[in-house]
Amino acid sequence: MPRLELVASLEGHQDRVWQAIWHPSKTILATCSGDKTVRLWAPASHSDMSNWQCINTLEGGHKRTIRSVAWSPSGHEMATASFDATTGIWEHDQRDNDWECVATLEGHENEIKSVAWSSSGQLLATCSRDKSVWIWEVETDNDFECLSVLQEHSQDVKMVAWHPHQEILASASYDDTIKIWREDDDDWYCSDTLQGHTSTVWALDFDASGDHIVSASDDQTLRIWKMYKPNNAQGIPTPSNDPTYRTVCTLSGYHGRCIYSVSWSKVNNHIASASGDNTIRVFTQTAGGDEPSWEAVATIKDAHGVHDINNVTWFPTQQHGDWLATAGDDGVARIWRLVEDE
With binding defined as CB under 8 A, does residue 254 bind another protein? no
Give 108 or 163: the residue with its C-beta nearer to another protein. 108
Distance (Å, whole) CA 198 – CA 218: 8
With binding defined as CB under 8 A, does residue 148 bind another protein? no
With binding defined as CB under 8 A, does residue 65 bind another protein? yes
320 class by beta-carbon count within 10 Å (0-12 exposed, 13-18 middle, 19+ buried): middle
Region label for 253, one of left (φ > 0), alpha (ψ between -120 and 50) or beta (otherwise): left
Phi and psi at residue 221, in whole multiples of 5°? -120, 160
Which contacts (CB < 8 Å, 24+ apart) does range 46-51 have?
49/7, 49/8, 50/7, 50/8, 51/8
Three-point CA angle 9, 14, 20, nearest 5°: 50
Measured CA to CA in angstroms, residue 124 lies from 108, 145, 157 at distances of 14, 10, 16
Give 196 or 328: the residue with its C-beta nearer to another protein. 328
Q: Which of 62, 113, 179, 226 binds another protein (CB under 8 A)?
A: 113
Give 65 or 244: the residue with its C-beta nearer to another protein. 65
**HSE, side-chain direction, 13 A CA sphere, residue 206:** 21
CB 306 → another protein: shortest distance, Å? 4
Binding mask 208-247 vs another protein (x if CB under 8 A, - otherwise)? ----------x-----------------------------
Q: Which of 10, 28, 34, 177 binds another protein (CB under 8 A)?
A: 34
C-beta of residue 160 within 8 angstroms of C-beta of residue 134: no
With binding defined as CB under 8 A, does residue 323 bind another protein? no
With binding defined as CB under 8 A, does residue 158 bind another protein? yes
Q: Which of 77, 130, 308, 322 binds another protein (CB under 8 A)?
A: 308
Give 118 or 200: the residue with its C-beta nearer to another protein. 200
With binding defined as CB under 8 A, does residue 307 bind another protein? yes
The span of 109-117, 133-141, 178-186, 219-227 binding another protein (CB under 8 A) equals 109-117
Helix (H) or strand (E) holding 342: none
Give 38 or 168: the residue with its C-beta nearer to another protein. 38
Measured CA to CA in angstroms, residue 125 lies from 57, 231, 273, 295 at distances of 24, 30, 23, 33
CB 282 → another protein: shortest distance, Å? 23
Q: Where along the sequence are the contacts to another protein (CB under 8 A)?
A: 16, 34, 64-65, 67, 83, 110-111, 113, 129, 156, 158, 174, 199-200, 218, 257, 276, 306-308
